Chain A
Amino acid sequence: MTLSAIIVVSAAIFGVGIYGVLSQQSFVMIMMGLELMLNAAILAVAAFWWGTTGGNPEGQLLVIVVMTAMAIEAAIGFALVTNVYRARKADITEKLKRLRN
């Protein structure tokens, strides 16, 4: 278990997340891809805290900031999906050809 190994694992999770965000049609599945990318970010930040900072707690604080970003993304994402579904009856991206109205 080395820092490089953890970074490679994190890169793999990030790649899967990129694939999900770009390929999925359903809004919720896109959000899952975003969460996977943030998951990879958390792993990488924690790995750097473990391997390169000598135990400085500020590194762990950055993980907490990323987790906050994740919670914000999920809450606003769910709210937007609910709103779009009400207004347009759309649950996949192809049904939103226009952003007007």
Chain B
Amino acid sequence: MDTVIDAIFWVFAASAVVTAVLVFVADSMVRAAYWLMASFVAVGGILVILNAQFLGLILILMMAGEMTIMAIFMVMFMMNPAGLNPMLMVHQHRTAILSGVVSFLALATVGLVAEFPNLPAPAASSPIVPLGQELLGRSMLIFESAGVALLAVMIGAIALVSQRGRYGDAEQGSLEPALEPGTNE
């Protein structure tokens, strides 16, 4: 049983890394978006194996929505979205590759060398019930703050993209209209 789970883990791990690389290799931005989604799905699979089923599934669901928006967005705005021509739009390529390799080596060294406490989560019990009690119990403030932050972001994003406010063009500032139509009062 353990070897099966190990094998599934390595399949997910390899596909997470390979699809992450493919994001920047694909010629089409739409394909890049879906490769990124594949990477998230693989990480979500690893989370499910790690007994964090709730987190894995909401990661997959959230990213499916977000990557669909991203694909549409890129078809709307970006050059060469369809992948008809080979695409390599990079600058400082060597520095970037070097930084990526160095950060991978540094973090992997930490993962391999450092000694972590060995307190595995109990495999038998479901972690979802304690998580729900934590979310709506002691840590409710964090949960609610995340909600308020998302609301603020929604308002901010709409304010950033709106071309026309309620009282005129966005860049002109706002002046309330008069109460009586056709007058200044």
Chain A contact residues: helix, strand, loop or mixed: helix
A86 at the interface (CB under 8 A from B): yes
Chain B contact residues: helix, strand, loop or mixed: helix
Q: A20, B24: Cβ atoms under 8 Å?
A: yes
Q: A57, B130: Cβ atoms under 8 Å?
A: yes
User: Which A positions have Cβ atoms within 8 angstroms of B?
Assistant: 1, 3-20, 22-26, 28-29, 31-33, 35-36, 39, 42-43, 46-55, 57-58, 60-61, 63-65, 67-68, 70-72, 74-76, 78-83, 85-86, 91-94
Could you pull out 23 A-B pairs where Cβ atoms are within 8 angstroms? A6-B111, A11-B110, A13-B16, A14-B103, A22-B95, A22-B96, A24-B89, A28-B29, A28-B70, A42-B55, A54-B120, A55-B125, A55-B127, A60-B52, A64-B143, A67-B55, A67-B58, A68-B146, A68-B150, A76-B157, A78-B69, A79-B161, A92-B89
User: Which B positions have Cβ atoms within 8 angstroms of A?
Assistant: 5-6, 9-10, 13, 16-17, 20-21, 23-24, 29, 32-33, 36, 39-40, 43, 46-47, 49-52, 54-55, 58-59, 62, 66, 69-70, 73-74, 77-79, 89-93, 95-97, 99-101, 103-104, 106-108, 110-112, 116-122, 125, 127, 130-131, 133-135, 139, 142-143, 146, 149-150, 153-154, 156-158, 160-161, 163
